[in-house]
Every structure is written in C-alpha cells, then in structure tokens.
C-alpha cells in the first residue's frame, strides 16, 4: 500500500498472457553470461575441457528432466521448447568451436564457451523476424545452464524466495526460469524485454499466469514487496496503487475469471455461426512435439507447419530425419490434416548453408521458393521426405513466397521428379497429395485467378502480404502506424484472393496474425473465409466469437466497409461494429462498460 508522498506509477507494455493480477513485487536480476578472460596453460585447459564436457552431459540430462516435468505439469507445446535446447547441445560444432577457441587463444573453457554463445545470441538478435529473434533466448538459456553446471552456481537464486502473492519482475526470463516459476504459485510476470512470440509469453499463457513484457526500465523503479497490479488485457502495470485502483481491479479480476470459465464451456463445441456456417479452426506450429496440441486444444488440424526450425543448425537434416518428423506429425493428428510449408529460408533466416552473394535487400532476394528452386537438391530432399510421410493421406504441401505462375509450375515439376524417383525405388506415397500456395506477395494476389486453376488450395499469409503491399517493414516502430490490416488495398486484395479461389472450387485459409486477432473475425467471416489457422491460445476466443455471429450479417458488414476509401473511416466503422457485436462476447469489450 502506498505511503504518504508515494506517487502511483503506471507503465505500458505488451500483453503476453491475458488476465489481471494483484501481488507484491519480487525483482529478479539473474545470472549472466559474462565470464572474465583468463589465460590457462595446456594441462589446466585439458582438465577444464573434461569438466566442460561433463557439464554439457549434465545439462542434457537436466533438460530431459525439465522437459518431462513441463510436459506433465503444463503441456506438450511448452515442453517442446526444450527440444531445441537439447538439439543445440547435440550439435558437435558448438562444442568443437568452444574447445578450438580455448586451445588457439589459451583461454579458459568457460570464457571460450561464453563468447561462442554470446556471438550466436547476437546473430539471432540481429534478425528481423520476431519469432527467430526470440530464439536468441533459447541459446542464452542453454549457455547459462552449461555454465551454471560447470561453475556450480544458481541461475536465479531469487526464485527460491517466491510465495503465493508474488509478481515476478525481471529484465528477461529464460525458459529455465519459467520452468522453475511453473513450480511456484506466483500471481504474475513482468519483463523489460520480449514480445508475443517469446517463451515467456508462450509458457505464461499455458500456465494461465498474467504477463506483460516489453516494460522499459521497470526494474529500476520498483522495490521488493511493492504492491503491483498487472492488467495484462491492456498491457498496463500499476506500482503502489491507491485504494480506489485496487478496488477497481479486484472487480475486473472477478469478471475476467467468469469470462475464462465461459470460454472453457465451449472447448468441445464446434465453431459454427448462428446461421450454420462451419468455420474450421486449425493451428500454426513450428516443432513436431507441438502436434499433440491439435487434440488438447480441440483444433481441426494443422493449417501451417513451419519447417524452418529444422534447418536452424550447422548440419542440414537428412531426408530420413525429415521423414521421421513429418511422419510423426501425420500419425499424431490422424485423420486430421497437416499443411507442411516447404522451408521459407532466406531474408534473415539461416542461409549460411547456401552460397549466396551478399544482398542489398535480402527480403527481396533469395527467399522462400526462390531459394528452394535455386538449390534444387536441397528442395527435392525435403519434398521426398514429405511425400514418404504422406501414406496416411493427411498431408498437404505448401510453397512460400510464390510470386506468379512460372515459379509455381516449376516447383510442381520438381515435385513430379521427386515422385518419379520414389516410384523407381518402390517407395509408397500419396499419389494425389494436394499442393498449394502461400499467397503473401501482391503479385500472387493479383494473378490469383490464374494460380487458382493450378493449385489445390490457397493459404493467405497476411504478415508479409501487408508488409509488401504497403512497403512497410513491420518491425520498424517509426512506421508501425502505416502497417494496417484495414488499409483499403488489403481488404480489396483479400476479397480478390478469396473470390478467385472459390470461383475455381479450391479451399482458401488464412494463417497470418489477422486470423487469430478477435478484432478481425467479423471481417474474415464476412469475406467468406471458412478456415482460420491460429496460435493454439487463440482458438477458444475465436470460437466463442464465431458462435455468436451470423455469416449473413458479417457479409453485409464487409460489403458496407468496402464503400470506404480511407483507413480511418474503415477503422472507425469496424470499431463501432465490434463494440456492438462483441460487447457481450469478448472481455475486452464488455469490461469497458
């Protein structure tokens, strides 16, 4: 409670896991990767190398135990995070580079390892893709775990002090911290860095703990045991609130708990509008172990399996290794379907495996299907692995970054070559496997009538479609106001793509961020989209909205919005529509009343 003269502090951040929490502050400062540069002689170094290898093996065993515990206590999706950690330690290059550096420079093994990890972390943090940028935390976490085991110290000793009414504040929390936090009954989480795709966000959502990330400089302005309110629905933090604010948020918290219960009641229900239109709700995923989420979240299938994660290592996966992963996913969700997108590498995503000249603008260079077509054997290896895994006939193939019909037909020709090679070897596969396109480049949208004659399905990737149409880097904060899904050009392109797909009788889905944003659900239903592929955590809320809507009403709303020619008018219109239609459905709307 505030003392005399203490001023209420309010901070803004990014909502990572919704909810409202009231508790006392526990600032965490953690254990860093900074290790002093120390010279060692050869004999001492060889002894250090033995201890280092032992620490690596201890860390692997520790990670397996953490993975099992998280899987049992929280879920498969969250435990899969630690697969990437184990995979990193299984990479012989990481260990060999560390030892080689230590020997060449006559420095301690812990210094060499910390430098190797730090360099790798910086490479990831320089990427523009938010998901990949957040994977720097995976690498940092592995580094801290190995160093902790090597040096015999604790990562975050403050966590041992937690009690039931605690709100944890930190500059950043790594997966290992989150694993330890999962054992405590904390009220909420606040970090100074991170985004919606960070592991803090993913695990906090699964733990059902309110979390706000990206709250700048909060650690320097909070003291242990300060009273803290987290409004994670709106990204607000209150430090030392007054009695009126506490009372207000206690009531908001009560309402939110009731809202969450209303979502759980429809978990096993179908996503069907009031006038009978069925909407298929799929999930997006990156790791094979996340496949179980299809069943746990009552999803209809996997609308997008991003395969880039398989190639985020020094040695490319073999055809057999890829085959086992794709087969596992198909078996796990059978008879539901999975759409496997071929590797969308390039841009800023791991092209060190390929000899590509330095590009002035890599996002407009060798990326997605362009890179695959240039490196045909790499592409064919992935295609053959997917085809071999398709015997259950529940796998579809999708190509990223298609700009026109020539690329698509060339890619399909390589699929036929892969099929012929498998036939010659007597290998079974789905002869009629569907092949589709990620429509995410304006040129593809503009010729979608032509593409629809040759594709088995479309999936709209709104993240890049918006970025390329509006010529706005979605990661540029100074230009973020221009990155708007409701720009009239975007609405017209969406309508064109969907209509052209339906005219040729093929399915069209959406797997970009728009699909999982409740503010756009009315628009997407009205545009006649019948498949939405979203993050697992979005499924219940989107389903609740769909079940309260009428398709015919949504269609009329979209027709009306198409009459406006400027962004402000369209946004004002949909704000008004959402406030009216969702006020008794979505917490963000009815809690404002």
Q: Is 440 annotated as a binding residue?
A: yes
Residue 531, phi then psi, degrees to nearest 5: -135, 125
Strand-strand pairing, 435-439 and 236-239: unpaired
Determine if residue 474 is labeled as part of a ligand binding site: yes
Residue 85 falls in the annotated catalytic set: no
pLDDT at 322 exceeding the cut of 90: yes
More confident residue, 300 or 62: 300
Determine which of 131-140, 244-253, 517-526 has the lowest per-residue pLDDT on average.
131-140
Using CA atoms, how far residue 46 sits from 52, 207, 483, in Å, is 10, 43, 54
Q: Report whether 417 contacts 451 (CB < 8 A).
A: no
Residue 489 CB partners (closer than 8 Å, separation 6+): 469, 470
301: which 2 tokens?
């299938």
Question: What's the pLDDT at 430?
Answer: 98
What residue spans of 31-91 are helical by DSSP H? Answer: 42-73, 76-79, 81-89
Query: Pick from 401, 392, 331, 335: which is nearest to 373 by CA?
Result: 401
- Among the residue ranges 128-132, 158-162, 224-228, 274-278, the one predicted with the least confidence is 158-162
220 DSSP 8-state letter: G
Identify the three-state secondary structure at position 218. Answer: coil
Helix (H) / strand (E) element for 303: namely: strand 301-306
Three-state secondary structure of 400-464: CCCCCHHHHHHHHHHHHHHHHHHHHCCCCCCCCCCEEEEECCHHHHHCHHHHCCCCCEEEECHHH
pLDDT (mean) for 119-123 = 83
The verdict on whether omega for the bond into residue 335 sits within 30 degrees of 0, i.e. cis, is yes
Q: Among all chains, which residue has been given the structure tokens 């330095």? A: 358
pLDDT of the residue at 403: 96
DSSP state of 211: E
Note the pLDDT tens digit of each residue in 2-26: 444 455 789 999 888 889 999 999 8
Distance CA 512, CA 534 (A): 8
Rounded distance between C-alpha atoms, residue 146 and residue 139, angstroms: 11
259 - beta bridge partners? none
125 known member of a binding site: no
Token pair 């020094």 is found at 314
Q: Is 199 a catalytic residue?
A: yes
Q: Which domains does the chain have, with CATH numbers?
A: 9-31+156-244 (3.50.30.10), 42-151 (1.10.274.10), 307-433 (3.20.20.60)
pTM, 2 dp: 0.73
Say if residues 304 and 281 touch (Cβ distance below 8 Å): no
pLDDT at 362 over 90: no
202 contacts: CB under 8 Å, gap ≥ 6: 77, 78, 81
Contact indicator for 10, 237 with CB cutoff of 8 Å: yes
Please tell me which residue in 85, 199, 297, 487 is annotated as part of the active site: 199
Q: Is 341 annotated as a binding residue?
A: yes
306 assigned ligand-binding residue = yes
Window from 13-17, 211-215, 562-566 with minimum mean pLDDT: 13-17
Within 10 A of 536 (CB to CB), how many other CB atoms are there? 23
Please give the span between the terminal C-alpha atoms of the chain, in angstroms, as a whole number: 27
Bigger pLDDT: 311 or 442? 442
Confidence band for 549, pLDDT divided at 50, 70 and 90: very high
Give SS3 for 30. coil
pLDDT grade for 470, boundaries at 50, 70 and 90: very high
Q: What is the pLDDT of residues 444-458, one digit of tens each?
A: 999 999 999 999 999
| Summary mean pLDDT of the chain | 86
Residue 323 has pLDDT above 90, yes or no: yes
> Which residue of the set 85, 297, 487, 511 is catalytic?
511
Give the residue from 312, 347, 322, 369 showing the smallest Cα distance to 94.
312
């Amino acid at each position: 409670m505030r003392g005399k003269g203490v001023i209420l502090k309010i901070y803004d951040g990014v909502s990572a896991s919704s909810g409202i929490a009231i508790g006392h502050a526990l600032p965490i400062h953690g254990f860093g990767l900074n290790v002093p540069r120390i010279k060692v002689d050869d004999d001492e170094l060889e002894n250090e190398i033995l201890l280092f290898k032992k620490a690596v093996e201890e860390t692997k065993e520790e990670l397996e135990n953490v993975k099992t515990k998280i899987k049992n206590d929280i879920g498969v999706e969250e435990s899969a995070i630690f697969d990437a950690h184990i995979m990193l330690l299984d990479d012989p290059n990481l260990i060999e580079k560390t030892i080689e550096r230590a020997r060449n420079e006559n420095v301690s093994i812990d210094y060499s390892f910390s430098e190797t990890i730090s360099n790798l972390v910086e490479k990831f943090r320089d990427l523009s893709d938010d998901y990949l940028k957040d994977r720097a935390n995976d690498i940092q976490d592995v580094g801290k775990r190995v160093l902790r085991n090597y040096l015999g110290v604790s990562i975050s000793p403050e966590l041992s002090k937690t009690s039931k009414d605690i709100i944890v504040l930190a500059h950043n929390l790594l997966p290992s911290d989150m694993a330890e936090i999962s054992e405590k009954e904390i009220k909420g989480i606040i970090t100074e860095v991170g985004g919606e795709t960070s592991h803090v966000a993913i695990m906090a959502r699964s733990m059902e703990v309110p979390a706000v990330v990206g709250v700048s400089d909060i650690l320097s302005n909070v003291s242990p045991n300060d009273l803290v309110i987290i409004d994670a629905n709106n990204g607000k933090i209150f430090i030392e609130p007054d009695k009126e604010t506490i009372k207000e948020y206690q009531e908001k918290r009560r309402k939110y708990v009731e809202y969450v219960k209303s979502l759980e009641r429809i978990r096993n229900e179908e996503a069907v509008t009031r006038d009978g239109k069925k909407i298929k709700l799929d999930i997006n995923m990156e790791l094979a172990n996340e496949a179980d989420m299809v069943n746990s979240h009552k999803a209809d299938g996997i609308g997008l399996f991003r395969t880039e994660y398989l190639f985020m290592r020094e040695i490319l996966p073999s055809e057999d290794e890829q085959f086992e992963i794709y087969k596992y996913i198909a078996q796990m969700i059978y008879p539901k379907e999975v759409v496997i997108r071929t590797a969308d590498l390039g841009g800023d995503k791991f092209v060190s495996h390929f000899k590509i000249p330095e590009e002035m603008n890599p996002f407009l260079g060798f990326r997605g299907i362009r890179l695959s077509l240039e490196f045909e054997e790499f592409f064919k290896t992935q295609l053959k692995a997917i085809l071999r895994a398709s015997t259950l006939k529940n796998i579809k193939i999708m190509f990223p970054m298609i700009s026109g019909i020539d690329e698509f037909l060339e890619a399909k020709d390589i699929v036929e070559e892969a099929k012929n090679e498998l036939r010659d070897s007597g290998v079974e596969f789905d002869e009629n496997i569907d092949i589709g396109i990620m429509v995410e480049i304006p040129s593809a949208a503009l010729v979608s009538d032509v593409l629809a004659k040759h594709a088995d399905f479309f999936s709209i990737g709104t993240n890049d479609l918006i970025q390329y149409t509006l010529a706005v880097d979605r990661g540029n904060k100074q230009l973020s106001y221009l990155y708007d899904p409701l720009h009239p050009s975007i609405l017209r392109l969406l309508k064109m793509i969907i209509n052209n797909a339906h005219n040729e009788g093929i399915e069209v889905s959406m797997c970009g961020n728009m699909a999982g944003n409740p503010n756009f659900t009315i628009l997407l239903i009205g545009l006649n989209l019948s498949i939405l592929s979203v993050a697992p955590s979005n499924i219940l809320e989107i389903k609740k909205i769909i079940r309260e809507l009428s398709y015919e009403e949504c269609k009329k709303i979209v027709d009306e919005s198409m009459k406006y020619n400027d962004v402000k008018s369209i946004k004002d219109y949909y704000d008004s529509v959402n406030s009216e239609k969702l006020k008794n459905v979505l917490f963000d709307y009815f809690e404002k009343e």
